[in-house]
Amino acid sequence: MVLSEDGEPMMIRFLMEMRVACRAGFASDAPPTIMLRGGVSAIACVVVGLCVSLVGCERRLAPAAIENSQQVAKIRESLGGGGAEQQPGAEQALPEPTGWGTLKGVVKLTGNAPAPEALRVDKEVDVCAPGGKTVYSEALVVGSTGGIKDVVIFLATKIPNEEKWVHETAKPGKTDEVLFDQRNCVFLSHVLVMQSSQTLKIVNSDGIPHNTKIDTLANAGINPSVPGGGTSKHSFPKEERQPARVSCSIHPWMSSWIMTRDNGYFAVTNEQGEFEIPNLPAGVELEFRVWQEKSNWLSAANINGAAKKLPKGKLLWTVDAEDASKNQLNLDVDAAVFTK
């Protein structure tokens, strides 16, 4: 046995120094250097090398790697991500409807209503203005009780087409025809909303020809010429985001609006300003939009007595399945909204 100068077996001493050198080498990225005391045969060195390879050296993470991982964790936490990283494509669960509820209300004007505008009727007056009667614009029609006619209120929230979300009375796919008539050079439906699956039947009850130009945005526009007493049928299979203007080039004072929606969650106010949207999904916050010809998207209103801003006509509401009194939506609109 070969001994070192202090009497320790050379093999043991060599292994110890080799292990220390390995640790130092991995920490500093420099190759280990070993100084042996005394002579060791070449065979012994080979044996020692094999022993070291079997014993191995510990690899330790450099302090910078530990610090970097800690910094990453802190950054994630500060960004609200916590320690775990969110998996891509993870979906958040939607709240479940609690049943159905019907939204009802009245849209009224507060203040002095603008005077109705008389239209210039200068063609085929025997049909278009019989007896010399005055024809007025329907851009803003206010009833005797202050109700505003022809205000459109529709559900803008994209809801799943599932039984728990869409009631059977409002499902997409309704196919009955919608009548759109004109008489005395006036469109009898000044504002009309229909489902995109329905067919529009244009009727001309006058004895003179009209053309019905509909400038839709999502759907291809149309401009059919309809002879006196004639009809024309058309489909608009895509949902529209806002009402489309309807006009007649032959009689330029004629004006109307048409809109298509996929489901049946929409309403147009009557002459008293009343509306009703039945069987909405209850218990979840829904976004509605409110449109009127004179104001375009309604920008502001007192809703059940509280002043509210309606950016681009947007209104948030949660329908209650049990308490119908919570589903009353009354909008009082200042007359100034229609004079800007």
Per-residue pLDDT reduced to its tens digit, 193-229: 999 999 999 999 999 999 999 999 999 999 999 999 9
Does position 72 have pLDDT exceeding 50, yes or no?
Answer: no
Note the pLDDT of residue 95: 85
Please state, in angstroms and rounded to a whole number, the distance separating the CA atoms of residues 158 and 314.
14
Of 31, 50, 159, the residue nearest 94 (C-alpha): 159
pLDDT averaged over every residue in the chain: 83
**Distance of alpha carbon 74 from alpha carbon 66, whole angstroms:** 13
Q: Are 177 and 203 in contact (CB under 8 A)?
A: no
User: By the 8 A CB rule, do 302 and 173 touch?
Assistant: no
DSSP single-letter state for residue 48? H
The confidence score (pLDDT) of residue 217 equals 96
Return the amino acid letter for 46. V
191-195 and 306-309 beta bridge pairing: unpaired
- Give SS3 for 260: strand
How large is the average pLDDT for residues 110-115? 92
d(CA 197, CA 174) in angstroms, rounded, equals 6
Residues 6+ apart with CB under 8 A from 246: 187, 212, 213, 214, 215, 255, 256, 257, 258
Average pLDDT estimate for 76-99: 57
pLDDT band with cut points at 50, 70 and 90 for residue 34: very low
Q: Beta-strand (E) ranges in the chain?
A: 99-110, 152-155, 178-183, 186-187, 191-195, 199-204, 210-211, 213-214, 225-226, 231-235, 244-247, 255-261, 266-268, 274-282, 285-292, 296-297, 300-303, 306-309, 314-318, 328-334
In one letter, which amino acid is 69?
Answer: S
Closest among 283, 293, 289 to 265, alpha carbons compared: 289
The residues with which 203 forms a beta bridge, in sequence order, are 181, 231
Closest C-alpha among 157, 179, 178, 189 to residue 263: 157
313: number of Cβ within 10 Å? 21
Record the pTM.
0.73
With tokens 């020692």, the residue in question is 48
Domains in the chain (CATH in brackets) are: 1-81 (no CATH), 95-171+263-340 (2.60.40.10), 175-258 (2.60.40.420)
The first and second tokens of residue 234, run together, are 């058309």
Assigned token pair, 67: 């610090």
pLDDT higher for 64 or 238?
238
Residue 274 has pLDDT above 80, yes or no: yes
Q: What is the pLDDT of residues 276-302, one digit of tens each?
A: 999 999 999 999 999 999 999 999 999
